[in-house]
Amino acid sequence: MKKLLTLTVILFAVNVFAQDTYLQCGRIIDVDNGTVLTEKTIVVSGSHIKSVLDGYKKGGSKDVVVDLKNKTVMPGFIDLHVHIESESNPAAYIQKFTLNEADVAFNSTVNAKKTLMAGITTVRDLGGSGVNISLRNAINKGLVEGPRIFTAGKAIGTTGGHADPTNGMKKALMGNPGPKEGVVNSIEDARKAVRQRYKDGADVIKITATGGVLSVAKSGQNPQFTLEEIKSITSTAKDYNFLTAAHAHGDEGMRRAILGGIKTIEHGTLMSDETMDLMIEHNTYLVPTITAGKQAAENGAKPGYYPEVVAQKAREIGPQIQSMFARAYKKGVPIAFGTDAGVYPHGENAREFVYMVEAGMPVLEAIKAATITNAALLGMDDLGQLKKDYLADIIAVEGNPEKDVESLKNVSFVMKEGAIFKNQ
């Protein structure tokens, strides 16, 4: 009897103090149908959307009402390519030797908050030192404000390749990094590196299928894995339920990554028409990161910003991404949204929408790529739409993105899992 009475009191307390949040929305982007709805109310209960109602509703006396009547409301954005631990600056190459892990961790919390405040409620972090795993955990526990993170931990490369952490160091410091550090040189190494990422607590696998722009190495485009090594990575990743991504600028490395079973190609700068056809055939997604290409080219023109071996690659490769994206979109290559934040300042992720629209993608399609498409790739079937029972990741912007894509840079309201983090 006493236990029954206690349970009744608890249920009564939950009922009395529970409250819903009513978001009165002037415009809502229905990303699934590519339309804009007007005068709706989204009811949020706990971490999920309870209902979407016609007109402006207020609920009961204990409910919270948020006035978004003069704003455009949409799902929180998902950026599939960020580097949350770091941010480009002229001292970045020296900081590898001067910053402690704790310094990197504290800096990452600032980057995480900037990202969330920009309306990016979910990210895929594609490579850092491993601090990104701890940051994900801290955000999940509510200790740090930031987006939901799916992280690769440390990216996987080959000896001297784009993800070799000792590139550019003097020989006394190079050592011989292996699978634990994310450097592989055989089918067996590749398999072990994936299993190490699982042990470390990563969510996704990222490889560097070609040379890269910002690594201190000569080539920005040569293939750096054999097809057999890539197949070893993807088959092992499948065993551990990992989504796979491949950094790639050069065409041959991209082709091997697609044939090897990689799901998303990051950058894709020098992609040929034949490789685009292969992307379509294998349902492989392009994550274009146009913003990073433009920013790298701009930084590469600044004397001393990068080491010269990097600056030359930045000037050559960076400017080509947007035109490649325009061809890929027109051809029908599957497109996902990702920006490579960290190469440019965190919090400016919406620049990518502007460049995608400039290249010919309608703004509502670009928003769909950053919501429904990316949620599906991450396996989140309750994310990326404003519908009943979906996670309440909701943002609002000033203005109308259909008329002015630049308005996506001005996020004034951010809710993640029902909690309001920004309301201006």
Using the Cα atoms of residue 3, residue 8, residue 11 and residue 12 in order, give the sign of their dihedral. Answer: negative
Tokens of 318: 């960076």
Looking up tokens 């799916």, which residue turns up?
A: 150
- Rounded Cα–Cα distance for residues 410 and 266 (Å): 26
* Model pTM score: 0.94
**Cα 99 → chain centroid:** 25
Q: Are 135 and 144 in contact (CB under 8 A)?
A: yes
For residues 13-40, average pLDDT: 86
Residues 43 and 87 in one domain: no
Do 202 and 324 belong together in one domain?
A: yes
10 has a pLDDT exceeding 50: no
The arithmetic mean of pLDDT across residues 97-101, rounded, is 94
Do 258 and 354 share a structural domain?
yes
Q: Do residues 68 and 213 both lie within one domain? A: no
Domain that holds residue 56: 2-76+385-423
For the chain, what is the mean pLDDT?
A: 94
Say what the pLDDT of residue 335 is: 98
Q: What is the CA radius of gyration of the chain?
A: 22
CA atoms within 13 A on the CB side of 111: 28
Q: Please indicate, yes or no, whether residues 337 and 202 belong to a single structural domain of this protein.
A: yes
Same domain, yes or no: 177 and 312: yes
The yes-or-no verdict on residue 16 having pLDDT over 70 is no
Query: Among 14-23, 255-264, 350-359, which stretch is predicted with the lowest mean pLDDT?
Result: 14-23
Same domain? 121 vs 187: yes
Q: Assign residue 118 the CATH number of its domain.
A: 3.20.20.140
pLDDT score, position 18: 66
pLDDT digits (tens, 9 = 90+) for 202-237: 999 999 999 999 999 889 899 999 999 999 999 999
Is residue 69's pLDDT more than 60?
yes
Query: What is the C-alpha to C-alpha distance for residues 326 and 249, in angstroms, rounded to an integer?
Result: 16
Give 393-417 pLDDT, tens digit per residue.
999 999 999 999 999 999 999 999 9
Q: What is the mean pLDDT of residues 131-156?
A: 98
Q: Are residues 96 and 179 in the same domain?
A: yes
Spell out the residues 6+ positions from residue 79 whose beta carbon is closer than 8 angstroms to its own. Answer: 115, 120, 122, 123, 124, 147, 337, 338, 339, 341, 349, 370, 374
Domain shared by 218 and 343, yes or no: yes
Burial 361-396 (b: 16+ CB within 10 A, else e): bebbbbbbbbbbbbbebbebeebbbbeeebbbbbbb
- In total, how many domains does the chain have? 2
The three-class DSSP label of residue 220 is: coil
pLDDT for 170: 87
Q: Does 156 share its domain with 217?
A: yes
44 and 165 both lie in a single domain: no
Q: Is the pLDDT of residue 138 over 80?
A: yes
98 and 52 share one domain: no
CATH value at residue 37: 2.30.40.10
Question: Residue 4 pLDDT > 70, yes or no?
Answer: no
